[in-house]
Structure 1
């Protein structure tokens, strides 16, 4: 009587694996070879088993992407990957670490009766190779070239709990190795050795970076610059996609905050830039690009390079599609400051555009961008939709500030206007420039009322108001700016009929009630004094936890003629809690 199918497979599986010579990754037949071909990494050996390993590194070329560099393929390959010239030697004197490791544990459950696939891994100064066995004549199944862009993930407990193995993940240019071992100290030893090799590698430079250096060196030779742009399409506008970032990023570098990897996000953003050409209302998409750069600061230089690329040799200079890139470049220049090499590259691009198209819209945007780059500092928030609309037209944004006792004051602000600058302008408008009291801008929302730091950007506050719009509870006012008194109150020489007195009179804080005695210029036969209630901030150090009141008085030392002057002075102040 034959065994049931499941039990028969259980008894024969190990013998079957041995017959198929798959215990340690030896050569299989049919599907096994196909699987290995699918999982091949940076390099691949196609020679016989007994022949010495000869590997020749090349890099694939895409003619449709527009992101290639017009250098010889051998030169570009040498700049990115070091060729491996020697085969496997007896005793492997160049090996840093070698040993048996498992790869791609499947099923998620450790099963003692099923022997996992093992390979003989050898780490050298140039690559991580794996073989079918530890013999010198063993076939090389793959090799991962190590550059400064490679990265390694440390083993984590979660993978160990799920599989029973400690995992070491090595990310390369196209693929990655996921290696497993049963011993933590062995996994840590491999990770440390891999990181040491990666750190020792010289920085990788992309074709765009190399061409940026060439442009900087020949900045005073227009003929050579034109030839560089003409011979290198990677620097010019392209209607097709790109398949790799223009700048180097570590392989599999995490994006964080729900984003994909940095390299993937860079490619996605280029596609988003191309969508701007056909949008009639591009402000929302521009804000999304700016927010991505704000969340992932490593992409700021990349987006600058992409925008320079798309505004170089466009098919229709000055058209609406071309101006979309210039408008986003204006928003970027008012929000982020690029690194020094990218800044020099951008400034040369702006100068070259002005020489090619004088008095054009692109030239006016270029001048606006150059001026903004001199003032741009770090932004807490990305521009609001209203600010983006103003930047697209190279105009200032109008900001409304509420002032006590008067209507709302409208102030024109730029992306770099500070709170202190707005406060000083309002003090000049209201005649408070010589006042002994201090005034500041306050941020008022349904959550809090607080004074703003002097160096805070008004544009960031407006963006916070826009972001919180619609989140207020019912019957709660939206966020707004207030111009109010700040600090200690100085009552010397505050005329009752002055704008300053009106501002102080209207200002209030819910916990305090302040009453002032003001002596004015009475008419004949009328009382010589009046009482005015002025709610202001409490004095520093005043504490009224016991419910008591405090009286502060100031004696008018002027003569009788001074009392007859119009307006009078505040001579007494009574503070009590509400």
Structure 2
């Protein structure tokens, strides 16, 4: 268990001495192998987030390695051997070698992912901890939507033009772009979105056939666009007479006002509930009709793509997607934004890209504001849910639940820019600022600043 629990300094000093003595006394023996294994483990051991699983303990006792499945965009996956101290950075490096992506100008990361959620994994995170956490979560939530997995994906898109159309990296770009489309994070008109859906079908299935299994609409088209077609809002329920309304003139009031109020209210509540159920049924029916109409349009467009190869379909898809000026950025929801100049907005997207940080109204293609990295003096977390960027003489505050993710991605872009600049590549230069506030990531004049933990890509 030396992989999991690091001894104190006094014990550690004696243990290392003892291991060296054993290796010198019993060279090339079973004892030597054990001592060598423990010595290597001690060099990498640090505190664990989770108690090791039974599978990990069994593997350790047998001096074997665990198998870890790493998925990547599309249906593919790789199986890698890992130990109790294998980090996310090590897995990413091995995936880059396995998939032939070591020469890519873009960076990659591991992501924790389920059907509804994903997050980049920190580079120094121990993979065994992640697998143990997945195992615990799956035991609590056994349904298929809650199944967790590790996924290897593009993280910083620094140079989309340099990606060869015949490479697996181009396929990654296509798949991740489609994920954005389905999530509603690619601002485009309905006609373009229908064309993208048809191109997706052509790339995945090929030419249209009545025998081809067609995926559901929510795997091809953003759901909010279907809802947007329901132009007529639900009808408001008619006003109901209050229980204490005076009797009509000429009709004697047989009971004191309010005596039957409870009974009448129950009847009213039942009627209102019934009306709401009927409205929901009508709404669902209309949603199905609209979805069927959209799917019919997509299929007609798909029929017109007969003869397109997979490569042609992917290229046409990405050509349409790249018409958006923010293509390649990662969008994060921002609850509200306020600037020191007085600007204030709610429900925005914060787009973090290779050259700048931009603000978008959700669903709109044009950026409200854009801040090139050369103008950013500092950025960081100011409190539990507020992210702050200082650009020139302006302070920008964003309230969001994605603080860590935004910070990690900005760190990764700045780090990648510095690496490429060090190689003499023609990349964005950074105008350096002065460190003023404590607790923020500032851009000092010469040395590389101390970064927060980067996501899992080699630095």
TM-score (norm 1): 0.33
Which is higher, the Rg of structure 1 or of structure 2? 1
Q: Which has the higher helix share?
A: 2
TM-score (norm 2): 0.41
Q: Specify which structure has the bigger relative contact order, considering alpha-carbon pairs within 8 angstroms and separated by 6 or more residues.
A: 2
